[in-house]
Amino acid sequence: MSTPLSTNEFQETDFARLSVSPTAEWANLGGQFRGLPTPVYYSGSLFAFTRNFDNRLGMCQVDSTGTKGKWSTWGGTLTYSPAAALSQNGSIAVIARMQTGQIQISYINPFQGIYTPWVAIAGAPSSTNFTGPVQLVQNTNARLEAFALDTNGNLWHAWETSVGSNPQWSSWSHLGSGFNASQIEFPVFLLQNSGRLQAVLIGNQPNMYQSTQYAGGGYDSWSPFTVVGTTVPPQPAPQFANGPAANFDSRLQNAAYAGYNANAGQGQNPLVYCAPPSFPQWGPINNITSEQYPISNAAPVMLSNNGTANLAWATPSGQVYLVAEALTANNFWSNNIQPVGTANAMFTGQMSGIVNNGSDGLFMLAADGSLAFINYQPQ
């Protein structure tokens, strides 16, 4: 069992770089968890953090073959899926909403098997009740920033005010309002051309909205949330469900966006995207057949693989598909809709991903609570 240590006992460590091999099929890594797995790529190793059946934090380390996982637990009493990011102090920082209602953080050294006690990121107004997903990302100045929704659809954020062996955090600050508090996930990611973070959420309308830092590492200085994408009448506006997919694209020098459109007509493709400035209007991804339409209760996943957008989703039959950016004059996406491994009827569609050494590491919740993984190399 892991032993909690006080923060000032935490030691930075340099680790020899490892790697996880690409795989062509899904592997069952075991575990018993619920919700979305949260992946981290650290020092050549892949980890997935989960909310276990007993509500403790679980961690699965993927072995070098990509076919087996080693599980451990790290305390806490979680009420939703965690979020994780690399910390400047040589650890993995993990945040989660706990049964106390607080958003708490722990810094974990998975190689030494130690972690700091869970402590609250405090300072939200007393009437604030956090709910749903959280996010944790690293700014360009290496300080972490946390994001959380409350039951009234407000978005809050807090950030590290100091780093090192004893990180300190700001109080929670209000960032936006009018969001769907029941969305499964929302992305916050780095715009690599400017060093600024961008947050993308579904609103109550339900449009997709984005806000961007005014400057890299800008903490509390963010632009107002604005609607993503446009539509041309008589095309109806998308009504997004589950959660947005978005990430940076180097050829656009901008973000690309996608999501599940609950307003798609009978028999029409509900998987839509926009990619400004080249493709600023919402439209369906081409060349997708009805058998490839996404499952209705999960969000797609967008990864930026060496700056190239890759979009993955699961179907009701449990087949995962991936399409990569092409950025031709007429279409943003390739016409090659790639099947990712073999279909599995146990796949729930609750999927997350992370890029590692040119592969898209995809993690999937199975219906029995186990973790499926594939380290797919896009074609």
- Tell me, what's the pLDDT at 219? 59
- What is the structure's pLDDT at 216? 64
pLDDT at 8: 36
pTM here is 0.94
Decide if pLDDT at 15 tops 80.
no
- Kindly indicate the confidence band of residue 19, based on its pLDDT and cuts at 50, 70 and 90: confident
pLDDT average, residue stretch 259-286: 94
Secondary structure letter of residue 9 according to DSSP: G
- Residue partners of 336: CB distance under 8 A and separation at least 6: 323, 324, 379
The identity of residue 358, as a single letter, is G
Span 339-349, mean pLDDT?
A: 99
Domain range list for the chain: 228-379
Contact 241, 270 (CB under 8 A): no
Task: Give CA torsion, residues 255, 337, 322, 257, to 10 deg.
Answer: 20
Selection from 367, 374, 375, 377 nearest residue 26 by Cα: 374
pLDDT for position 276: 95
pLDDT digits (tens, 9 = 90+) for 159-200: 999 988 889 999 999 999 999 999 999 999 999 999 999 999
pLDDT above 80: residue 3: no
What is the DSSP secondary structure assignment for residue 7, as one 8-state letter? Answer: G
Q: What is the pLDDT of residues 288-327, one digit of tens each?
A: 999 999 999 999 999 999 999 999 999 999 999 999 999 7
* Residues 168 and 121 sit within 8 Å (Cβ to Cβ): no
pLDDT of residue 235: 84
What integer pLDDT is reported at residue 265 of this predicted model? 87
In this predicted structure, what is the pLDDT of residue 7?
35
CA angle 305, 25, 64 (to 5 degrees): 70
Task: Tell me how far CA of residue 231 lies from CA of 228, 275, 375, in angstroms.
Answer: 10, 13, 36
- pLDDT at residue 182, rounded to an integer: 95
Q: pLDDT class for 5, splitting at 50, 70, 90?
A: very low
How far apart CA 102 and CA 97 sit, in angstroms, is 6
Tokens linked to 351: 């999927």
* Local confidence band at 218 (pLDDT 50, 70, 90 cut-offs): low
User: Mean pLDDT across the stretch 63-79?
Assistant: 98
pLDDT mean across residues, the chain: 93
| Average pLDDT of the segment spanning 97-106 | 98
Q: What is the pLDDT of residue 217?
A: 59
pLDDT at residue 233 tops 80: yes
Instruction: Output the pLDDT for position 75.
Output: 97
Q: What is the pLDDT of residue 330?
A: 82
**Distance from C-alpha of 262 to C-alpha of 173, rounded to nearest angstrom:** 32
pLDDT score of 344 more than 50: yes
pLDDT > 90: percent of the chain: 86
pLDDT tens across 108-163, in order? 999 999 999 999 999 999 999 999 999 999 998 899 999 999 999 999 999 999 98
Which residues, 6+ apart, have CB-to-CB distance to 141 below 8 Å?
Answer: 216, 217
Q: Count other C-beta atoms under 10 Å from residue 314's C-beta.
A: 24
User: How confident is the model at residue 224, as a pLDDT?
Assistant: 95
